[in-house]
Amino acid sequence: MNQQIEFLSDGGDDVRELPLYLSPEAEHWLDWWHVTMRITTLTQTAKGLPETSGEGTVSLQTDVLRDLERIKWFLWHGNVFKALQVLGCVESNLEAEEFTSGNATAQKLYKAVSEFTTYIKNNQGFIPNYGERYRNGERISTGFAESTVNQVVSKRMVKKQQMRWSQRGAHLLLQIRTRVLNGEWEETFRQWYPGFRAERQPALA
């Protein structure tokens, strides 16, 4: 009960409330994997902006791509204040482009950047210095779990898969897997089948 617990999540309100319910004293951090995935999506969209600009001026695409790299750097070092400042500049530039040229990509990106700004504001209290945690060997991401879900669970639940899992079947399998990882599976199995392999008694000296 006194074990120190750390939760890493995607930053959703409902997910943040669950750790508070389970362990009010636990630490809750925003998963770096989800931050980088969002920035990657913004970067891919930004590449659709005009590559050229007026003579002697930097194109909006170059400007936005540079600022997204700066935002990622600031967030990696836990500097939310500076990240939000740069996000505000990006929003202003995109809004101006959308207003003056009606560029569809600028409009789409403006909306996405606004949503990302709100996302960071809502989670600013849960953004640590990821770089420092990484150097100290502390967990900053659950990317390995996301990868497992994509490769194992999702693959087994697609319609084209012959050995397809049902939602109930996948849920029950994950419950068993959790008990195995927690070292509780044998005890659980013994509760279901009392005659299964009685616990060994310590040998007398």
Say whether pLDDT at 203 is over 70: no
Residues 27-62 pLDDT 10s:
889 999 999 999 999 999 999 988 766 554 568 899
136 φ, ψ (degrees, to nearest 5): -90, 5
Residues 97 and 106 sit within 8 Å (Cβ to Cβ): yes
Q: Helices 60-76 and 32-46 meet at what angle, rounded to 10?
A: 170
User: Residue 173's pLDDT band (boundaries 50, 70, 90)?
Assistant: confident
Tokens 């809750």 sit on residue: 28
- Sequence spans of domains, the chain: 6-135, 143-192
Name, in order, each residue with C-beta under 8 angstroms of 10's C-beta and a sequence gap of 6 or more.
30, 31, 34
Question: What is the C-alpha separation between 31 and 46, in angstroms, rounded?
Answer: 23
Q: Who has greater pLDDT, 166 or 146?
A: 166
Residues 83 and 68 sit within 8 Å (Cβ to Cβ): no
Cα angle value 12/18/22 (rounded, 5°): 155
Name which of 58, 66, 64, 46 is nearest 108 in CA terms.
46
The stretch 99-112 carries a mean pLDDT of: 86
